Amino acid sequence: MPAALFSPLHIGPYRLKHRVVMAPLTRMRADKATLAPRPLNVEYYAQRATPGGLIIAEASPVLPTGTGSPNVPGIYSEAQVAGWKRVVDAVHAKGGVIFLQLWHVGRVSHSSFQPGGALPVAPSAIAIGDDLKAMTADGKLAAYEMPRALETDEIPALVAAYGQAARNAIAAGFDGVEVHGANGYLIEQFLQSRSNQRTDRYGGGIENRCRFLLEVTQAVIAACGADKVGVRLSPYGIANGSGEADPMPLYTYAIEALNKLGIAYLHLIEPRSSGAGRADVNWQNVPSAIALFRPIWKGVLIGAGGFTGEPAEAAVAGGQADAIAFGRYFISNPDLPARLQHGWPLTPYNRPTFYGGEEKGYTDYPVYQEMAKA
């Protein structure tokens, strides 16, 4: 019996009954016309809700410019707020706690997604390399385009969009929001020198490169209160053309600055599974983010990336993390907390059905007790 994983945990104002968190997972199955969650999405989240269990709902663009994949649900329109409310209500009906991840992809987009066919925006006009491909609005692959560097005076409106998105999430009933500062998207593009060559107060030294993350976090805090805000980072990650040459000073500064903001939690992705959406194994023999940054972060720490039950129990029992988020195994095991608690076997995930489609690979994974009866 994994005792540490199944002990209670306070996150912000919430008392979780266990520490098996559902990681944010883009599944590209929103309503095509409105980009709002639809009944299929309600069923998927309800299947994965448990009393006192935390779900971090999938990355949701804060603006139409913030998307880079088809059929991803947003959090900037009334229809989207209404759609998310149905998801939240279903999770609450099962006693679950649900946060929404706030997203802007920056340069990880394509002009086919952008209003008026404009170029995607980014801190600097630096394209993602040819080894990776962009997705187009009709789901094809294309070379990444050179993004347009944001003007300094455009940045406050972007920061404000995160604040508005947080208000929208609270209006939909979410218990809180997670700022997506990981995986090579806009915030991480500002953090890292390979994607940020700005010469204004948002670029250059570490303090300047962390400014966008911290302003966004503060705007979101102003919208819903620090105790309802989490931040996700991926130090040492390599997803979507990211990768800081020397992550330790950058992320030490960022995490120390976040310590002062009193947020509900910090969520760190282990570099071994950076970019898990694209490949099963990314790197071997890389440092552990939770081991490196646990001594620096003063609050609740969620670790994610490549965990199964025993290592998760060991990480929580050993104090390296307070909770563990599971991605791929939460896709294929809707009853993952019960399986880990009882030591039941895990259903393997089917990668081709991760992104897009209908119920196959989404709501049709069985729970263990039904499988055992059959």
Ligand X SMILES: Cc1cc2nc3c(=O)[nH]c(=O)nc-3n(C[C@H](O)[C@H](O)[C@H](O)COP(=O)(O)O)c2cc1C
Instruction: List all residues 6 or more positions away from 307 whose beta carbon is below 8 Å from its beta carbon.
Output: 315, 324, 326
Interface mask toward ligand X for 24-43; x: CB under 6 A: xxx-----------------
How many residues interact with ligand X (rule CB under 6 A)? 24
Residue closer to ligand X (CB basis): 209 or 328: 328
Kindly tell me which residue out of 101, 189, 341, 347 binds ligand X, with binding defined by CB under 6 A.
101
Instruction: List all residues 6 or more positions away from 260 whose beta carbon is below 8 Å from its beta carbon.
Output: none
d(CA 256, CA 116): 40
Element (H, E) at 173: none
Residue span binding ligand X (CB under 6 A) among the ranges 22-30, 160-168, 208-216, 291-299: 22-30
CB of 72 to ligand X, least distance (A): 8
CB of 303 to ligand X, least distance (A): 10
Q: Does 326 bind ligand X (CB under 6 A)?
A: yes
Residue span binding ligand X (CB under 6 A) among the ranges 120-128, 148-156, 248-256, 320-328: 320-328
d(CA 177, CA 228): 6
Q: Does 277 bind ligand X (CB under 6 A)?
A: yes
Kindly tell me which residue out of 273, 282, 320, 333 binds ligand X, with binding defined by CB under 6 A.
273
Q: Does 305 bind ligand X (CB under 6 A)?
A: yes
How far lies 59's CA from each of 17, 181, 227, 274, 358, in Å? 24, 11, 20, 16, 19
Interface mask toward ligand X for 106-145; x: CB under 6 A: ----------------------------------------
Q: Does 188 bind ligand X (CB under 6 A)?
A: no
Look-up of token digits 């990355």: 59
Active-site pick, 76, 144, 185, 253: 185
d(CA 99, CA 320): 23
Active site residue 162: no
CB of 199 to ligand X, least distance (A): 30
CB of 15 to ligand X, least distance (A): 24
Element (H, E) at 156: helix 155-171
Query: What 8-state DSSP symbol labels residue 26?
Result: -
With beta carbons less than 8 A apart as the criterion, state whether 56 and 364 touch.
no
Residue span binding ligand X (CB under 6 A) among the ranges 87-95, 298-306, 332-340, 361-369: 298-306
Look-up of token digits 């990314």: 282
Q: How many residues are listed for the chain in this entry?
A: 374
Name the residue with the smallest CB distance to ligand X.
Answer: 327
Which of helix, strand or coil describes residue 221? helix
CA atoms within 13 A on the CB side of 253: 15
Question: Strand 121-122 relative to strand 176-181: parallel, antiparallel, unpaired?
Answer: unpaired
With beta carbons less than 8 A apart as the criterion, state whether 232 and 101 touch.
yes
Residue closer to ligand X (CB basis): 44 or 326: 326
Q: Which two tokens stand for residue 189?
A: 């593009």
Look-up of token digits 């309600």: 42
- 59-88: contacts with ligand X (CB under 6 A): 59
CB of 360 to ligand X, least distance (A): 14
Q: Does 45 bind ligand X (CB under 6 A)?
A: no
Q: Does 53 bind ligand X (CB under 6 A)?
A: no
d(CA 207, CA 191): 9
Q: Does 354 bind ligand X (CB under 6 A)?
A: yes
d(CA 77, CA 40): 19
Residue closer to ligand X (CB basis): 101 or 320: 101
d(CA 181, CA 331): 22
Residue span binding ligand X (CB under 6 A) among the ranges 10-18, 36-44, 186-194, 299-307: 299-307
Kindly tell me which residue out of 232, 263, 320, 323 binds ligand X, with binding defined by CB under 6 A.
232
What residues are annotated to the active site?
Answer: 185
Q: Which residues bind ligand X (CB under 6 A)?
A: 23-26, 58-59, 101, 180, 182-183, 232, 269, 273, 276-277, 304-307, 326-329, 354
